[in-house]
């Protein structure tokens, strides 16, 4: 006996997924329309939410980061000309930096050594031994560049130019890690213009970022009650005490708080702690955070809570070694927990 086969009706789960996909498509199209040069004005709040909640596509990321770092302006009718002018200005700044280098060859010694030691993980291969490592990205040639220079050389030029043109801060160790994610996103973009002008655009985006976080690298601001890095570190421990008093007391008891270990996480925005695609994932959220970089403090708390069992069971030296490596933390899980902690923190304050 033959059985007639009736068309299968989609289950609720499939209907839900189809609806979600259509919603995403509508959302993506709306965002793309805002990022085209013909569309004005830009709804920056919508774009921030779009990126913060994980809807950022690779093709959109360079434009979004340039917006969040105040390189692109909302008035798109003026934006294109402004960008052209800035790219010309960078060449002038760079020439000035090169002239300074010629008259004082030692001015880039520290930054050059730092950049030479910088490795983009996981794009690394070990040659013969650990001391000789080749980084596929940084040690490859730049595209659309007449100098035939490496990406690593572009990073050096950006930092040297920043040092010469911003003598108030200059170059401080660690800045090489902060500039890297920005340059990586632009230099690996699907857009030819992003790649072609990755060096110029990175300089100004890095400059703008440093106007927000530069005090983390300046000693005289260390104890500033508003801007100081020590105050931000103290805020990490204050919030840890709020969420997990027992862990806070243990960390205090074994002397971990005296080491200021969250300094690196805060100052470098976790740029030294994860693989490059994981750093990009985090920076999508850090740069789009409406309370600029506040989420970084909650991420620091999230790391400690994630490592709670280990920290509670070990002494100072072993805990410090673990915190310095930070190699077992999943950055996505860290961020999700941080976001949830922040929600709880403000909901309880209402």
Least confident among 14-18, 50-54, 284-288: 14-18
The more confident residue out of 196 and 12 is 196
Helix (H, G, I), strand (E, B) or coil at 150: strand
- Give the pLDDT score at 76: 63
* Residue 9, pLDDT above cutoff 90: no
The confidence band for 6, taking pLDDT boundaries of 50, 70 and 90, is: very low
- Give the pLDDT score at 43: 78
Structure token digits, residue 137: 């990205």
The confidence band for 10, taking pLDDT boundaries of 50, 70 and 90, is: very low
Neighbours of 139 (CB within 10 A): 17
Q: Check residue 141 and report its DSSP letter.
A: B
pLDDT in tens, 262-290: 999 999 999 999 999 999 999 999 999 98
* Residue 8, pLDDT above cutoff 50: no
> Could you tell me which residues are beta bridge partners of residue 133?
126
- Give the pLDDT score at 168: 82
* Residue 80, pLDDT above cutoff 60: yes
For residues 314-323, average pLDDT: 91
The confidence band for 2, taking pLDDT boundaries of 50, 70 and 90, is: very low
- Give the pLDDT score at 74: 65
Most confident of 3-7, 50-54, 78-82, 124-128: 50-54
C-alpha 93/C-alpha 204 separation (Å) is 11
Burial of 130 per CB tally in 10 Å (0-12, 13-18, 19+): exposed
The more confident residue out of 172 and 73 is 172
Phi, psi dihedral angles at 172 (to 5 degrees): -125, 140
Burial of 228 per CB tally in 10 Å (0-12, 13-18, 19+): middle
> Which residues are CB-contacts of 162 (< 8 A; sequence separation ≥ 6)?
171, 175, 203, 206, 207, 210
- Give the pLDDT score at 208: 96
> Which residues are CB-contacts of 12 (< 8 A; sequence separation ≥ 6)?
none
The confidence band for 4, taking pLDDT boundaries of 50, 70 and 90, is: very low
C-alpha to C-alpha distances, 114 to 152, 160, 312, 323, nearest whole angstrom: 11, 12, 35, 22
Least confident among 104-108, 176-180, 245-249, 313-317: 104-108
The more confident residue out of 15 and 235 is 235
Phi, psi dihedral angles at 349 (to 5 degrees): -85, -10
The confidence band for 228, taking pLDDT boundaries of 50, 70 and 90, is: confident
- Give the pLDDT score at 336: 95
* Residue 5, pLDDT above cutoff 50: no
pTM for the full predicted model? 0.87
Number of alpha helices (DSSP H) and beta strands (DSSP E) in the chain? 17, 2
C-alpha 71/C-alpha 182 separation (Å) is 12
Phi, psi dihedral angles at 323 (to 5 degrees): -65, -35
Share of the chain above pLDDT 70, in %: 82
- Give the pLDDT score at 324: 85
For residues 329-334, average pLDDT: 94
Q: Check residue 290 and report its DSSP letter.
A: S
């Amino acid at each position: 006996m033959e059985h007639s086969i009736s068309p299968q009706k989609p289950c609720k789960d499939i209907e839900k997924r189809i609806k979600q996909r259509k919603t995403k498509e509508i959302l993506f199209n709306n965002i793309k329309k805002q990022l085209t040069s013909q569309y004005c004005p830009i709804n920056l709040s919508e774009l921030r939410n779009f990126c913060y909640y994980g809807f950022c596509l690779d093709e959109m990321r360079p434009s979004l980061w340039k917006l969040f770092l105040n390189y692109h302006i909302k008035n798109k009718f003026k934006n294109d000309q402004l960008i052209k002018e800035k790219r010309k200005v960078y060449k002038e700044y760079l020439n000035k930096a090169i002239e300074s280098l010629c008259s004082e060859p030692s001015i880039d010694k520290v930054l050059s050594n730092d950049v030479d030691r910088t490795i983009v993980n996981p794009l690394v291969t070990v040659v013969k031994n650990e001391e000789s490592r080749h980084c596929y990205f940084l040690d490859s040639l730049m595209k659309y560049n007449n100098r035939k220079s490496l990406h690593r050389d572009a990073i050096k030029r950006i930092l040297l130019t920043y040092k010469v043109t911003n003598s108030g801060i200059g170059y401080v160790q660690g800045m090489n890690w902060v500039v890297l994610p920005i340059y990586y996103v632009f230099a690996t973009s699907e857009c030819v213009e992003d790649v072609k002008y990755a060096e110029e655009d990175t300089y100004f985006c890095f400059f703008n970022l440093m106007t927000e976080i530069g005090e983390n690298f300046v000693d005289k601001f260390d104890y500033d009650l508003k801007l100081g890095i020590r105050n931000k570190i103290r805020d990490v421990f204050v919030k840890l005490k709020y969420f997990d008093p027992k862990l806070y007391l243990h960390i205090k008891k074994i002397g971990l708080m005296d080491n200021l270990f969250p300094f690196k996480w805060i100052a470098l925005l976790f740029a030294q702690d994860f693989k490059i695609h994981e750093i990009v994932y985090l920076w999508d959220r850090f740069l789009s955070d409406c309370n600029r970089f506040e989420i970084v403090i909650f991420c620091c708390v999230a790391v400690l809570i994630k490592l709670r069992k280990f920290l509670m069971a070990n002494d100072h030296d072993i805990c410090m070694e673990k915190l310095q490596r930070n190699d077992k933390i999943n950055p996505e899980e860290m961020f999700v927990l941080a976001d949830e902690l922040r929600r709880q923190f403000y909901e309880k304050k209402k």
